[in-house]
Amino acid sequence: MRSITDRTLSVAAVQMNSQQDIKKNLETIAQAVKDASIQGAQLVVLPENCCSMGAQTATAEQFDALSSSLAQLAAQHQIHLLAGTLPCPYRPDGMPVPNERLRQVSQLFAPDGSQVARYDKIHLFQATVADDTGSYNEAATFEAGTKTVVAPIRLDDATFHLGMMVCFDLRFPALAQRLRQAGSDIVSAPSAFTYLTGQAHWSLLLQARALDSQCMVIGAAQGGTHQYPKQAARETWGHSAITRHDGTIAADYSHSALADHEAAQDYALVMATLDNAAQEKGREALPIFNCHRLA
């Protein structure tokens, strides 16, 4: 095992513009994961609703098959894959979600294809936004999860710990703090922020949660226009970014819709390296969790 002074982890956030064509979305994911792996990524984070924006019930019917496909990608490219979110019809204990609702599930797969962890989104989006959708109430479709999750990322010579969040979770600093207290080095934040709320708050929230937890935060986002057959199109903010423990931006993608040179490949990559020695040094210089009194 390497000493803490030379532990690094190469991470990639994938920005997508998922529609409701699951097959095409999977093709985009496969290409993005391959690209990130070639560039040296050891952890790849997909956005929320990576396999379909909308059509949640129909997508949930394929939860097991889609999870298996994503697990196979992790094994094929020998990387850890954070599979954004998928709608799931059953709870972690296998019991069906009652009242025809679903769980919004984020999964971490290891390089051997095994599922390392499952996190069910705790905070469900509820807001009134001045866009064509207007009112958002995720609880009408989903049941909230109840457990925080910190998952190990085991490499040959080091282990990192990933705290799992999803989108609206970013608005709740207590969750980020609890993940740090449970040992997190990194926090994942697969997201699909609306254009207006993202424009106002996305970057600030990534930076704030990094400062709260003193962890690297990986914000993999949906961006651009998403067509819905029977309702208004939805616009998401994109601007995927990776934020260091001190709140500085390690790398970002400064667009909502894909730029012309990425449009042909249907995704954009944001890549950075976690320097654990620098992160630990920053934590030691500002030991806020030694001073924490309220939780």
pLDDT (average), residues 260-280: 91
Q: Is 233 left (phi over 0), alpha (psi -120 to 50) or beta?
A: beta
The answer to the question of residue 2 being in a domain is no
Nearest to residue 22, comparing CAs of 81, 78, 63, 73?
63
> Tens digit of pLDDT for each residue in 61-76?
999 999 999 999 999 9
Give, in degrees to the nearest 5, the angle at Cα 43 between 220 and 82. Answer: 55
Helices (H), the chain: 22-38, 56-60, 63-77, 173-181, 195-213, 260-263, 276-285, 288-291
The answer to the question of residue 277 being in a domain is yes
Please tell me the number of Cα atoms within 13 Å of 59 on its side-chain side. 27
Average model confidence (pLDDT) for the chain?
Answer: 94
Give the number of other Cβ atoms within 10 Å of residue 246's Cβ.
Answer: 16
Confidence band of 6 (pLDDT split at 50, 70, 90): low
> In the 8-state DSSP scheme, what is residue 46?
P
286 Cβ contact partners less than 8 Å away, ≥ 6 residues apart: 214
Whether residue 5 has pLDDT greater than 60: no
Whether residue 180 has pLDDT greater than 60: yes
Give the number of other Cβ atoms within 10 Å of residue 179's Cβ.
Answer: 27
pTM: 0.96
Q: Would you name the residues annotated as active-site residues?
A: 48, 121, 167
Question: What range defines the domain where residue 78 resides?
Answer: 8-291
> Tens digit of pLDDT for each residue in 12-37?
999 999 999 999 999 999 999 999 99
Q: What burial class does residue 123 get, using C-beta atoms within 10 Å of its C-beta: 0-12 exposed, 13-18 middle, 19+ buried? A: middle
The answer to the question of residue 188 being in a domain is yes
The answer to the question of residue 190 being in a domain is yes
The answer to the question of residue 1 being in a domain is no
Rounded Cα–Cα distance for residues 30 and 44 (Å): 11
Q: What is the pLDDT of residue 132?
A: 81
pLDDT (average), residues 124-150: 92
The answer to the question of residue 3 being in a domain is no
Give the rounded percent of residues in the chain with a pLDDT score beyond 90.
Answer: 86
The answer to the question of residue 50 being in a domain is yes
The answer to the question of residue 105 being in a domain is yes
How many structural domains is the chain composed of? Answer: 1
For residue 54, the domain's CATH number is 3.60.110.10
Please give the backbone phi and psi of residue 289, each rounded to the nearest 5 degrees, phi first: -80, -15
Q: What is the pLDDT of residue 2?
A: 44
Please give the backbone phi and psi of residue 69, each rounded to the nearest 5 degrees, phi first: -65, -40
Nearest to residue 217, comparing CAs of 248, 172, 239?
248
For CA atoms 153, 63, 179, 13, give the dihedral sign.
positive
Residue 291 vs residues 263, 278, 287: alpha-carbon distances, Å: 47, 21, 7
